[in-house]
Structure 1
Amino acid sequence: MTKLDVRLDALFIIIGSSRQDKRGKEELIMDKAFAYICASEEAASRLLRRYCKKIFELGYVPICPQLSESQYLSPDNPEERKAMHEISRQKLARCRMLVVCGREITGQMSVEIGAAEKHHLICTTLEGLAKIREAEDGTSSL
C-alpha cells in the first residue's frame, strides 16, 4: 500500500462510508457535512429555525448552538453564557463550514468567523451556499 492509498483510505473514512448495492458492488455513501450557523445574538428563534431549515434543504446538517443551547442554558446567567460560548466553540471545531446568516456581522459573529478561519473551515453566506447548490442542480433555491 502506497502513501497515496493510505491518504485516500483516510479521506474515505472522513467523508463517507460504503455499502454493497443489489449486485454486490460496493458503493460510496456520502455523509452530509456539518454547517455551523453564524447569526446575530439578537436573531429570533423562528429566524434561526428558518436558517436551519434552509441549510438542511441545501443538503447539510445545520448546527445552531444559539437555538439548541438556549433550550437549557440562560444567556442572562454569566456562568451559563460562558458555557454556551465554550459549547459553541467545540461545535464549530467539528463542522466543515461556517455559514453567515443575516445582513450585518456583530462582534460575536466576528469572533466565530475568526475561529472558523483559524480551523481552516469554509466560510460562506447562506446566499452563497444557495448559489452553489443552484449551480450544481440548475435550479433556484432561495
Structure 2
Amino acid sequence: MADDAGADGDDEEWRFSVDEVGDDTGDADERDDGESWGVTVGDEDDDGPTVAFGDGEPRGESNGNAETNGNVAGTVTPDIPVESDTPELESAVFVAAGALLILLVFASIVTPLTPQTIGAITLAVAAVTGAVYAIYVRF
C-alpha cells in the first residue's frame, strides 16, 4: 500500500518545497486588470433580483443563454412561479422517521429506552405526523 511506493528499488522520498515556486513579483497594492471578477446582486426596476458580473451589465434571460453569459447554474430566477403544493405521503413518512430517530436518541440520553418508552414516542410521532399531514392535505 503506502509502504509499497518505493518497492521497485526507488528509495527516493517525495518532498515538496516552496523554494521551487519562486518569488512573488506582484505588488500588494496592485489591482486586477479589470473589474471582471466582481459580482453584485441588487434590485433593479423589475420585480426580481438582478445579478451583475463585473462590468455592471445585468445578465439574465434577455441578454442571451447560459452559454454566453457564463451562468453555469442556470437562471437566477425560476421560469415559472413557485407555488405551494400539498405534501406527499412519502415525504411525511420520511420526516416522521427522522423525527422519531432524533427523539429516540434524545430520549436515550435522558432515560433508559424500554419498550414502553419507544412505543409511546412512536405513537406520539405518528399521531402528530398524521394530524399535521391531514391538516395540510385538507387545507
The two structures share one fold, judged by TM-score above 0.5: no
Q: Which has the higher helix share?
A: 1
Q: TM-score, normalised by structure 1?
A: 0.23
Q: Which has the higher strand share?
A: 1
Q: TM-score, normalised by structure 2?
A: 0.24
Higher relative contact order (Cα pairs below 8 Å, separated by 6+ residues): 1
Task: State the structure with more CA Rg.
Answer: 2
